[in-house]
Structure 1
Amino acid sequence: MNKHNSKIFIIDDDEEVRQSLSLLLKSEGYQTESFPSTAILLETKNHNSTGCILLDVFLGGKTGLELQSEIETKFENLPIIFISGQGNIPMSVEAMKKGAVSFLQKPIDDKELLKAIEEALTRSDELIKKQNEIEKFKSLVNSLTAR
């Protein structure tokens, strides 16, 4: 997996958090794109290459947990890493049960974040490979002639 081909989407309503995470990740060779809300992310086109989403739990309005399944439906190859300054154990357990890669507390430890991102990108890569295999299978099935 090539860091330069991986994009990390950062969704947090705190501009300073978005900027500091973006600076850290860019210094590690990642491409980043930041959004103040999930609504703006959901308006973007589907991203078909390796990446992941750093999602703040509390954004005002709906929580990241409430939007998790909607985000995963549109961006099925982008695993979610939750970040929160106000998280708790039940919230973390719920996020992980729903498929989140990790649940990190603010202030975020850089090494922990980078480890979670590597795990998320590995998962993203596997999901893309699986999707490509499914598409290849569908193409083969569609090319069969009826007897």
Structure 2
Amino acid sequence: MSAHPVVRLVDDDPDVRAALSMMLRGAGFRIQAFADARALLDAVTPECRGCLIIDVRLGDINGLELQRLLIERRIHLPRLFITGHGDVPLAVEAVSYGALDFLEKPLDDEALIARVEQAIAADREWAIAHEEVTRTEMLIDRLTPRETEVMALMVEGLPSKRIATRLGASVRTIEVHRARVLEKLEVANSAELIRRVVQIPDYNP
């Protein structure tokens, strides 16, 4: 998680871009401004950190379509939409599909700064959790097939005796496998194991 957070602003109005960029830089944020959605899509990767500020009405791709493309590309940056009064329903729809929030024009500087700070904090928390998930997946790959079976039943909350019955092994053998699973996944107990494993999206033992 070494990338510095950057606020990426997408608005096809050059005056709005300039004004918001100046205001946010003055508040201490790193800013990248884009005139259209395609320019943003060319610039961001899943490794980027920070947040996005998107005008719901853009010249090339509207904000909702841009959001869909970002999700497809696994760009998890929190999204703030800015909108005129007539576009509020579009912004509400964007929030229903995962945007963090929307703000109506004319924008209140303090409100926008507060939401940007919250968005960057949310992104930081997501990045930390994502790093842990990635490491957990890597550690699971080190397990033997039998240890993987034992781990899956541990995650279900089964005690050693029931795991032994399920797998046709002795309780002593299962206890050895349990200890190896905990050691290889670098956790102290079954509760910590379960907490880490269930964080993996679409976990399927």
Q: TM-score range by the shorter chain?
A: 0.7 to 0.9
Q: In the alignment, does 2:136 pair up with 1:137?
A: yes
Aligned mates of 2:121, 2:96 — CA distance in 1: 19
Normalised by the length of structure 2, the TM-score is 0.64
Aligned mates of 1:45, 1:62 — CA distance in 2: 16
Aligned mates of 1:84, 1:21 — CA distance in 2: 14
- Report the Cα offset of residue 88 of structure 1: 3.7
The gaps in structure 1 that reach 5 residues or longer are none
CA contact 2:80–2:100 (8 Å) conserved in 1: yes
Aligned mates of 1:27, 1:78 — CA distance in 2: 22
- Report the Cα offset of residue 92 of structure 1: 2.8
Deviations 1:11-64 (A, max 9, x none): 000111111111111111111101111111111241525300000111124310
Aligned mates of 2:74, 2:38 — CA distance in 1: 13
CA contact 2:46–2:73 (8 Å) conserved in 1: no
RMSD: 2.0
Alignment of 1:64-143 (within 5 A): 64-74=63-73, 76-143=75-142
- Max Rg structure: 2
Q: In the alignment, does 2:22 pair up with 1:17?
A: no
- Report the Cα offset of residue 71 of structure 1: 1.5
Identity of aligned residues (%): 35
CA contact 1:77–1:128 (8 Å) conserved in 2: no
The gaps in structure 2 that reach 5 residues or longer are 147-205
Aligned mates of 2:69, 2:29 — CA distance in 1: 25
Deviations 1:55-106 (A, max 9, x none): 0111124310122121133353311100122544422321111111111112
Aligned residues: 144
Which structure has more strand as a fraction of its residues?
A: 1
> Any runs of at least 4 consecutive aligned residues in structure 1 with deviations exceeding 6 A, and if so which?
none
Aligned mates of 2:76, 2:124 — CA distance in 1: 8
Larger relative contact order, structure 1 or 2 (CA cutoff 8 Å, min sep 6):
1
- Report the Cα offset of residue 143 of structure 1: 2.1
Alignment correspondent of 2:58: 59
